[in-house]
Copies of this chain bind each other. A is one copy, B any other.
Amino acid sequence: MTQMPLLALAAMLPVLAAVLLSITAASAASSRPHPLDPLSPAEITAVRAAVLASPLVPARPLTFHYVGLDEPDKADVLAYAYGSSSRPALPRRALVIARAGGQSHELRVDVAGNGSSAAVRSHAVHSGAGFPTLTLEEQFAAVALPPAYPPFVDSVRRRGVDMGDVLCAVFPVGWFGGDGDGPQRVAKMLCFVAGATANFYARPIEGVTMVVDLDRMAIVGFRDRVAYPVPKAEGTDYRADKVGPPVAGPQPAPGVVVQPEGGGFHIDGHVVRWANWEFHVGFDMRAGTVISMASVHDADAGTRRRVLYRGFVSEVFVPYMDPVEEWYYRTFLDAGEYGLGLWAFPLQHGADCPANAAYLDGYYAGQDGEPVAGENRICLFERYAGDVAWRHTEAGFPGQLITEVRPDVTLVVRMVVSPGNYDYILDWEFKTSGSIKFVVSLTGLLEVKATSYTHADEITADAHGTLVSENTLAIYHDHYVTYHLDLDIDGTNNSLVKNIITAKRNTGDPATGGADTPRRSYWTVRREVAETEADGQVDVNAGPPADLLFVNPSKKTRMGYEVGYRLITSGATAASVLADDDYPQRRASYTKKQVWVTPYSKPEKWAPGLYADQSTGDDSLAAWSKKKRGIRDEDIVLWYTLGLHHIPYQEDFPVMPTLSGGFELRPSNFFERNPILRTARGVVPGDVCPCNGTQVTLLV
């Protein structure tokens, strides 16, 4: 009668209850911490006490800008995880970056007894350019200053705006010359009008700029350069109760994924096990999600094999393209200046993540050093997107049609970061095929400039943006999301191999690959192994097309190929077009190429440097890579930058429909054959599947 399969849902109810229990139980912290676990609340508390008790930094106030795990040496972690002997607990250590006495202090703190005690092990004062990540608290304190600052009060009054409707935000000043040594730790402050809308970013008080000294917490600069109408509130809000009732047009039906056998992943502390994958999920104030020690079970070989030692988003560079006074410095480094983990907020059940998701919290230190519980910062869910893992229909046998299909199910690890106006949905997607897909989805609010224009016809000079509403220019900008991926493909030492697609003329001579046929051309593969980090810099849009592989030269397949993974880009491969000598480009010069490969070096984590605020580029990926270090058969790190040039369009206003780009690391001669050949067929009509003791029959 019907061809739609249907699970006998009543049979699933007890199973679903069991799923809930198992995920809840699994989310509880394990009693045996993993050496890469982020600092626990108790450990953060102990670190704070040790720092404040230390005589090494006597100045007060002392503010905590970064508190995070100073992870053990990689060799020790590998020995802990993969060594054959017993596993002695590794020492726990924290890295603290604090401000006190007008200086940036770096402290290493030993932590013992699960946070029962801690002691400062080393201390150094940062002497180069740049400042640490801004704290949330100092930004809240700064934005409270303008309403009591008389020149600003005047400017607001002159514009006819009610100060009660005004909200301000802190914008890093960037770097525009000088050696970066000794400047003030200042930031710009720009203000907006909320009033009837939650979308205050849409209503800038254009032309008014303040400068705040963050250490002194005082406004030290003010300019009211030019006045434009504050754009209207109407049409800017995005809250459900403000936009009017849902309309008949664009409403799809609600749906939810039901897993009759329960969820397939298990969380033990921070270690996640799912299908053939095992990895560690950490949380960091700056990087957000950190995935460590990802390994995949090779069912044919019967072994677990390493893929990635540690991976995270190292930086998000967002330069705007209007050179005027109020905009030229907007060249954000969201991870280094704001902190991706700090600006991640609770994920919404059933919306940010589907109903079958589990959640992890992230703990960080407040400015006072006390632990702050960030609830539901990371979600994990099995993704049933209706995709196919592999299939074939064979029509070649007379009178017989063979069809074999394996539906695809993947595991997604998601965080959403909302540093100000924008929202970044950052997904790690693990596939049973051994692939890891990285997806960045952009949404949120555009950063707009007030203007006198109310129609595009009025624009005569370069407006540097799109008029998305009356008096509202959405300024051109870029997004560069840079991943730090310490690949350990089947072992620590790897090489970068370029399999270059090379066009050939058919010479007719078999000795050169030709043949005596009418075919005139073909392509073949020229293999290049990168020797130094200069060879590891690749513009994926320039030169001949190539597969970029990361191989383990000491491990070969049965057929004799080096085992490897390859990089596959999936949109969003823009590179920066800023001038090389422009200041923001010097800070983030790595954005001219999507791929950089460097030898592993523990301090080289943050693409624009450890101290990103007002950084000059002297401690950056591009600077490190000038050392010409060898990267062949070394412990190497892939830095991949996903890039988009964003010309706004009216649809992006007042909140932007998601725009995604990504890339994939895919096994390529890593396995001897398709690793999911023996995967189960999934739920197909007529099947009776033993679902946790309950027989579930598919109706057809």
Decide if A85 is an interface residue (CB 8 Å cutoff). Answer: no
A324 to B509, alpha carbons, bound, how many Å? 10
Minimum C-beta distance from A431 to chain B (A):
8
Decide if A113 is an interface residue (CB 8 Å cutoff). Answer: no
Residue of B nearest to A540 (CB): B541
Task: List which A25-82 residues lie within 8 A (CB) of chain B.
Answer: none
CB neighbours (8 Å) of A352 from chain B are: 388, 391, 405
Which of A121-129, A179-187, A355-363 makes up part of the contact surface? A355-363
Q: Are A651 and B351 in contact (CB under 8 A)?
A: no
Minimum C-beta distance from A201 to chain B (A):
8
A10 to B547, alpha carbons, bound, how many Å? 51
A519 to B327, alpha carbons, bound, how many Å? 10
Q: Are A523 and B651 in contact (CB under 8 A)?
A: no
Q: Are B403 and A560 in contact (CB under 8 A)?
A: no
Decide if A650 is an interface residue (CB 8 Å cutoff). Answer: yes
CB neighbours (8 Å) of A404 from chain B are: 238-240, 655
Decide if A281 is an interface residue (CB 8 Å cutoff). Answer: no
Decide if A1 is an interface residue (CB 8 Å cutoff). Answer: yes
Q: Are B456 and A677 in contact (CB under 8 A)?
A: no
**How does the 8 Å CB contact mask read for A153-170 relative to B, with 1 for contact and 0 for none?**
000000000000001010
Of the listed residues A140, A351, A467, A578, the one surrounded by the most CB atoms of chain B closer than 10 A to its CB is A351
Q: Are A521 and B578 in contact (CB under 8 A)?
A: yes
Q: Are A198 and B394 in contact (CB under 8 A)?
A: yes
Other-chain residue from B441, B561, B683 in contact with A355 (beta carbon distance below 8 A):
B683
**How does the 8 Å CB contact mask read for A502-524 relative to B, with 1 for contact and 0 for none?**
01011000111111111111111
Minimum C-beta distance from A366 to chain B (A):
14
A253 to B571, alpha carbons, bound, how many Å? 30
Minimum C-beta distance from A163 to chain B (A):
14
Q: Are B16 and A513 in contact (CB under 8 A)?
A: no
CB neighbours (8 Å) of A523 from chain B are: 321, 476, 577-578, 645
Decide if A148 is an interface residue (CB 8 Å cutoff). Answer: no
Decide if A452 is an interface residue (CB 8 Å cutoff). Answer: no
Decide if A130 is an interface residue (CB 8 Å cutoff). Answer: no
Q: Are A443 and B250 in contact (CB under 8 A)?
A: no
Number of copies: 2
Decide if A639 is an interface residue (CB 8 Å cutoff). Answer: no
Decide if A585 is an interface residue (CB 8 Å cutoff). Answer: yes
Of the listed residues A245, A385, A398, A672, the one surrounded by the most CB atoms of chain B closer than 10 A to its CB is A385
A652 to B418, alpha carbons, bound, how many Å? 39
Decide if A534 is an interface residue (CB 8 Å cutoff). Answer: no
Decide if A220 is an interface residue (CB 8 Å cutoff). Answer: no
Residue of B nearest to A201 (CB): B396
Residue of B nearest to A431 (CB): B657
Minimum C-beta distance from A218 to chain B (A):
20
Decide if A13 is an interface residue (CB 8 Å cutoff). Answer: yes
Q: Are A521 and B255 in contact (CB under 8 A)?
A: no
A582 to B698, alpha carbons, bound, how many Å? 53
Q: Are B673 and A560 in contact (CB under 8 A)?
A: no
Minimum C-beta distance from A154 to chain B (A):
23
A252 to B353, alpha carbons, bound, how many Å? 18
Q: Are A349 and B684 in contact (CB under 8 A)?
A: yes
Other-chain residue from B346, B350, B579, B676 in contact with A250 (beta carbon distance below 8 A):
B676
A574 to B444, alpha carbons, bound, how many Å? 32
Minimum C-beta distance from A585 to chain B (A):
7
Which of A482-490, A604-612, A662-670 makes up part of the contact surface? A662-670
A584 to B547, alpha carbons, bound, how many Å? 24
CB neighbours (8 Å) of A667 from chain B are: 649, 651
Q: Are B299 and A247 in contact (CB under 8 A)?
A: yes
A584 to B518, alpha carbons, bound, how many Å? 10
Which of A94-102, A286-294, A457-465, A595-603 makes up part of the contact surface? A457-465
Q: Are A661 and B515 in contact (CB under 8 A)?
A: no
Q: Are B253 and A577 in contact (CB under 8 A)?
A: no
Please judge, given known A-B contacts A402-B239, A519-B583, A657-B390, whether A350 and B698 are in contact too, CB under 8 Å. yes
Please judge, given known A-B contacts A349-B4, A397-B198, A680-B246, whether A515 and B384 are in contact too, CB under 8 Å. no
Please judge, given known A-B contacts A297-B249, A299-B249, A674-B651, whether A685 and B256 are in contact too, CB under 8 Å. no
Minimum C-beta distance from A485 to chain B (A):
18
A238 to B406, alpha carbons, bound, how many Å? 11
A58 to B454, alpha carbons, bound, how many Å? 70
Minimum C-beta distance from A677 to chain B (A):
5
Which of A261-269, A306-314, A615-623, A630-638 makes up part of the contact surface? A261-269
Q: Are A13 and B16 in contact (CB under 8 A)?
A: no
Decide if A7 is an interface residue (CB 8 Å cutoff). Answer: yes
Q: Are B349 and A5 in contact (CB under 8 A)?
A: yes
Residue of B nearest to A520 (CB): B582
CB neighbours (8 Å) of A585 from chain B are: 521
Q: Are B650 and A676 in contact (CB under 8 A)?
A: no
Q: Are B545 and A323 in contact (CB under 8 A)?
A: no
CB neighbours (8 Å) of A355 from chain B are: 4-7, 683, 698
Q: Are A678 and B244 in contact (CB under 8 A)?
A: yes
Minimum C-beta distance from A474 to chain B (A):
11
Decide if A260 is an interface residue (CB 8 Å cutoff). Answer: yes
Known: A256-B683, A351-B388. 9 other contacts (CB 8 A): A254-B409, A254-B680, A329-B519, A350-B698, A389-B658, A390-B656, A457-B560, A461-B511, A476-B524
- Please name 12 pairs of A and B residues whose Cβ atoms are closer than 8 Å in the assembled complex, sorted by A: A10-B10, A248-B297, A256-B384, A350-B685, A391-B443, A501-B577, A501-B645, A505-B579, A519-B583, A521-B578, A523-B578, A545-B574
Smallest CB-CB A-B distances: 9 pairs: A462-B513, A456-B560, A253-B264, A521-B579, A328-B519, A385-B385, A252-B409, A176-B518, A351-B405
